[in-house]
Chain A
Amino acid sequence: MAERSFKEEVKSLRLGDGETFRGEGILAVTKAILQAGVGYVGGYQGAPVSHLVDVLVDAQDLLDELGVHLETCANEASAAALLAASINYPIRGCVTWKSIVGTNVASDALSNLASAGVVGGALIVVGEDYGEGASVIQERTHAYALKSSVWLMDPRPDLPTIVRLVESGFALSEASNTPTIMDLRIRACHVTGEFTAKANVAPSISRNRQLSKPAPHDYAKLSHPPSTYAHEKLKFEVRLPAARQYIVERGLNETLPGELDDIGIIVQGGLTNVTLRALERLGLADGFGGTRVPTLVLNVVHPLVPEQVSGFCTGKRHVLVIEEGSPNFIETAIDSILRKADVQTKIHGKGALPMAGEYTAEVLTEGLLTFIGAARPDIDIGEPARRFAAVRERRARVQAALGSPLPLRPPGFCTGCPERPVFTAVKLVEREIGKVHVSTDIGCHSFATFAPFSLGNSILGFGMSLAAAQGVSSFMDKRTLTVMGDGGFWHNGLLSGVSSTLFNRGDGVLIILQNGYTSATGAQYLPSSAGNRRDDQKTSDIANTLRAVGVKWLRIQHTYSLRDMIKVLREAFTAKERGLKVIIGDGECQLARQRRIRPLQAAALSRGERVVRTRYGVDDEVCTGDHSCIRLSGCPSLTIKPSPDPLRTDPVASVINSCVGCGLCGEVADAAVLCPSFYKADIVQNPSWWDRLVWKVRATVIGALQGKAPVRAMQPAE
Chain B
Amino acid sequence: MASNRVAILIAAMGGEGGGVLADWIVRAGQSAGLAVQLTSIPGVAQRTGATTYYIEMVPPDGTRRSNSAPVLALNPALGEVDIMMATELLEAARAAANGFMSPERTVLIGSTHRVFATSEKIEMGDGRYDAAKLLRVVKDNSRERILFDMEQAAEESGSVLNAVLLGALAGSGRTPVTVSHYEAAIREGGKAVDANLAGFAFGQAHARGDLEEMAREAAKRAARNAGAEAPLARARTTFAGEALDVIEEGVRRLVHYQSLAYASLYLDRLDRLRKAGADDRLLRESARHLAVRMSFEDVIRVAQAKVSAERFARVRREARAKEHEPVLLTEHFKPGIEEIAAILPPGMGRAFIRWGERTGRLNKTYWSMRVNTTSVFGFLRLWTLSKLRWWRPRSLRFQDEQAQIERWVDAIVRAVAISPALALEIGECARLIKGYGDTHRRGSANYAAIERAVIGPALSGALPATLAADAVASARVAALADPEGASLSRTLAEIGDRTPALAKAAE
Q: Mark A673-684, 1 if CB is under 8 A from B, else 0.
A: 111101111111
Question: Would you call B76 an interface residue if the criterion is a C-beta within 8 Å of the partner chain's C-beta atoms?
Answer: yes
Q: Which of A644, A649, A683 contacts B321 (CB under 8 A)?
A: A683
CB-based contact B220/A646 at 8 Å:
yes
Contact partner, B2, options A287, A706, A707, Cβ 8 Å: A287
- The complex places the Cα of A685 from the Cα of B325 at a distance, in Å, of 6
A702 — which chain B residues lie within 8 A by C-beta? 312, 374, 376, 379
Asked whether, in the complex, the Cβ of A640 is within 8 Å of the Cβ of B128, the reply is yes
B375 touches A698 (CB 8 A): yes
Question: Closest B-chain residue to A278, C-beta based?
Answer: B77
B68 touches A289 (CB 8 A): yes
* Docked CA distance A488–B95 (Å): 35
Q: Is B96 an interface residue (CB 8 A)?
A: yes
CB of B292 within 8 A of CB of A648, answer yes
Roughly how many angstroms separate A707 CA and B221 CA in the complex, as a whole number? Answer: 20
Q: Is the beta-carbon distance between B325 and A683 smaller than 8 angstroms?
A: yes
The digit string for B34-65, where 1 denotes a CB below 8 A from any CB of A, is 00111111111111111100000000001011
Q: How far is the CA of A567 from the CA of B275 in the complex (A)?
A: 57
Q: Judge whether B305 is part of the interface by a CB distance below 8 angstroms.
A: yes
- For A360, A412, A624, A703, the residue with the greatest tally of chain B CB atoms inside 10 Å of its CB is A624
User: For residue A654, which residue of chain B has the nearest CB?
Assistant: B318
Chain B residues closer than 8 Å to A695, beta-carbon distance: 326
Residues of A within 8 A of B375 (CB): 698
Q: Which of B26, B44, B305, B383 has the most CB of A within 10 A?
A: B44
Cα A287 to Cα B56 with chains together (Å): 12
Q: Mark A208-222, 1 if CB is under 8 A from B, else 0.
A: 000000000000000
CB-CB under 8 A from B274, the residues of chain A are none
B124 close to A (CB within 8 Å) = yes
Chain A contact-residue range equals: 35 or more
Binds A, one of B165-173, B390-398, B405-413, B436-444: B436-444
B131 to chain A, nearest CB (A): 10
**B359 near A: Cβ within 8 Å?**
no
- Give every chain A residue within 8 A of B483 (Cβ-Cβ): 628, 631
Instruction: Please state if A681 and B376 are interface contacts (CB–CB under 8 Å).
Output: no
B71 touching A190, Cβ below 8 Å: no
Given A406-B129, A669-B332, A715-B316, A622–B44 Cβ distance below 8 Å?
Answer: no
Distance from B33 Cβ to chain A, minimum over Cβ atoms (Å): 13
B217 to chain A, nearest CB (A): 7
Q: Is B418 an interface residue (CB 8 A)?
A: no
Docked CA distance A524–B158 (Å): 32
Asked whether B291 is an interface residue with its Cβ less than 8 Å from the other chain, the reply is yes
Q: How far is the CA of A422 from the CA of B78 in the complex (A)?
A: 42
Q: Which of A135, A193, A403, A444 contacts B43 (CB 8 A)?
A: A135
* Interface contact A647-B253, CB-CB below 8 Å: yes
The answer to whether B71 touches A402, judged by C-beta atoms less than 8 angstroms apart, is: no
Contact of A681 with B99 at beta-carbon distance under 8 Å, contacts A48-B43, A191-B38, A630-B122 already known:
no
Cβ–Cβ < 8 Å partners of A622 in chain B? 297, 302, 305-306
Interface size range of chain B in the complex: 35 or more
**Any B CB within 8 A of the CB of A379:** no
* Nearest opposing residue in chain B for A395, CB measure: B99
Which of B49, B70, B483 has most chain A Cβ within 10 Å?
B49
Cβ contacts under 8 Å, A280 to chain B: 1-2, 71
Complex alpha-carbon distance, A673 and B440, angstroms: 11
Contact across chains for A132 and B41 when beta carbons are under 8 A apart: yes
Question: Contact at B97–A406, with CB atoms within 8 Å?
Answer: yes
B121–A713 touching, CB < 8 Å? no
Partner of B118, one of A414, A634, A650, A694: A634
Query: A274 and B73 in contact (CB under 8 A), knowing A395-B97, A647-B246?
Result: yes
The docked-state distance in angstroms from the alpha carbon of A640 to that of B137 is: 23
**Is B317 in the interface zone, CB < 8 Å from A?**
yes
User: Does A133 lie within 8 Å of B41, measured CB to CB?
Assistant: yes
A639 in contact with B374 (CB, 8 Å): no
Q: A409-B50, A617-B319 are in contact. Are A402 and B93 (CB under 8 A)?
A: yes
Smallest CB separation, B67 vs chain A (Å): 7
Among B2, B136, B319, the one with the most A-chain Cβ atoms within 10 Å of its Cβ is B319
* Residue B464 is within 8 A (CB to CB) of chain A in the complex: no
The stretch of A446-454, A499-507, A509-517, A532-540 that contacts the partner chain: A446-454
Instruction: Tell whether, in the assembled complex, residue A675 and residue B436 are in contact, meaning their CB atoms are under 8 Å apart.
Output: yes
Of A395, A619, A625, A707, the contact of B78 (CB 8 Å cutoff): A395
When distances are taken between beta carbons in the complex, the residues of chain B under 8 Å from A687 are 324-326
A-side contacts of B246, CB under 8 Å: 646-647
A673 touches B437 (CB 8 A): yes
Whether B37 contacts A193 by the Cβ 8 Å rule is yes
Encode contact with B along A381-410: 1 for CB under 8 Å, 0 otherwise: 000000010011011001101111011111
Q: Are B98 and A619 in contact (CB under 8 A)?
A: no
Return the CB mask of B188-229 against A: 1 if under 8 Å, else 0: 000000000000000000000000000001111100000000
Taking CB atoms and an 8 Å cut-off, the chain A residues in 342-386 that contact chain B are 360-362, 365
Q: Does the CB pair B376–A701 fall under 8 Å?
A: yes
In the complex, which residues of chain A have a beta carbon less than 8 angstroms from the beta carbon of B68? Answer: 288-290
Taking a contact as CB atoms closer than 8 A, the residue among A360, A401, A639, A716 that contacts B75 in the complex is A360
Contact in complex: A680, B330 (CB < 8 Å)? yes
Using CB atoms, name the residue of chain B closest to A639: B116
Q: Which residues of A contact B218 (CB under 8 A)?
A: 641-644
Residue pair A682, B328 in contact (C-beta under 8 Å): yes
Residue contact A647 to B66, C-beta cutoff 8 Å: no
The listed residue (B75, B219, B253) touching A274 by CB distance below 8 A is: B75
Q: A287-B71, A289-B68, A644-B221 are in contact. Are A444 and B116 (CB under 8 A)?
A: no
Please, which residues of chain A bring their CB within 8 A of the CB of B305? 619, 621-622
Question: Lowest 8 CB-CB distances: which A-B pairs, in order?
Answer: A133-B41, A395-B99, A290-B66, A411-B49, A361-B77, A391-B79, A287-B2, A407-B117
Give 18 pairs: A residue, B residue, CB < 8 Å, sorted on A. Answer: A134-B43, A186-B41, A288-B67, A365-B77, A409-B118, A452-B121, A627-B121, A634-B118, A644-B220, A645-B292, A650-B434, A651-B126, A674-B437, A676-B306, A679-B330, A713-B312, A713-B313, A714-B312
Instruction: Mark B residues whose CB is within 8 Å of A.
Output: 1-2, 5, 13-15, 26, 30, 36-51, 62, 64-80, 90-91, 93-94, 96-99, 102, 115-126, 128-129, 133, 136-137, 140-141, 217-221, 246, 249-250, 253, 288, 291-292, 297, 302, 305-334, 336, 366, 368, 373-376, 379-380, 383, 431, 434-439, 443, 483
